[in-house]
Amino acid sequence: MSEDTDENPGGGPPASISLREEFDGAGIAEVLAQLDRELIGLKPVKTRIREIASLLLIEKVRQKMGISAGQPTLHMSFTGNPGTGKTTVALRMADILHRLGFVRRGHVISVTRDDLVGQYIGHTAPKTKEILKKAMGGVLFIDEAYYLYRPENERDYGQESIEILLQVMENQRDDLVVILAGYAERMETFFRSNPGFRSRIAHHIDFPDYGDEELFSIAELMLAGQNYRFSSAAQDAFRRYIAARKSQPLFSNARSIRNALDRARLRQANRLVADLDAPLNAETIMTLEPEDILASRIFAQAADSRVSAA
């Protein structure tokens, strides 16, 4: 051990600590690099994750030096549209928390309202407590958290689950981090209706939608992971697809891109099998062509929309 990290002669906390040794020892750079590999763009989100990681690193050092102010509040809110990487960031955040010693296990339990709220009297508390038991020592990720609260339904049991969650978030914050996720506007309404949640959330992170080129890069990354690629002409076709799909309802960013690629692979397979006597090589079977993209109904819908507008 270096002299800088030796404890004082009296056996107390170290007089000084090497931040580099703490950072490298925890492997934080590895987690941040993994996040960069997994997610295209999202610079504001990655910046916030790095800031939180820095805060936690300093807090860990403060604890070692005996000057900690107590367990920090680490519960978070992730807001943004579907397919913007919220679940992936939650996984990497759990890894950082675990490596720095703020959670025991570093696992993520991902749930929705149906996992927490029962349909009859006496059902909700056991469901919520069972999920919390599974999540202890890690992160509980509650997607579309605003559905927990349904004031229009007098017989809704979501409030019971909310009360249990709030109690655990306050009393056991040294053993559980809760991340609430969902659309920004709905989450804001949810927080106004449930101020107890807002007061317990330390970090609010907004996930922006991806731009067209970011979505195209995501598509290429997904294809590469499956040993596929676009031909040059298919690249142009898929860029047209992205522009057309974004104008349609229910667009879910990277999730919609993944679905589009699955359908393109299906069309490619049907195209190849249609001529069983044609010889195949690796290049052919790995390459998506324009017809695999342009056969999408999205182009027909976009054309219909232009006709209607005219």
Instruction: Supply the angle between the helices 43-64 and 86-99 in degrees, to the nearest 10.
Output: 20
d(C-alpha 32, C-alpha 38), whole Å? 10
Q: Are 169 and 200 contacting, i.e. CB atoms less than 8 angstroms apart? A: yes
pLDDT at 86: 96
| CA–CA gap between residue 133 and residue 148 (Å, rounded) | 19
* Angle formed by the axes of helices 124-135 and 158-171, nearest 10°: 30
Class level of CATH domain 3-207: alpha beta
Domain boundaries, the chain: 3-207, 212-309
Please give the angle made by the CA atoms of 76, 107 and 44, to the nearest 5 degrees.
40
pLDDT of residue 156: 80
Residue 208 corresponds to which tokens in the numbers above?
Answer: 């922006």
The confidence score (pLDDT) of residue 303 equals 58
CATH 1.10.1060.10 for domain 212-309, yes or no, is no
Residues of the chain with pLDDT under 50: 1-5, 307-310
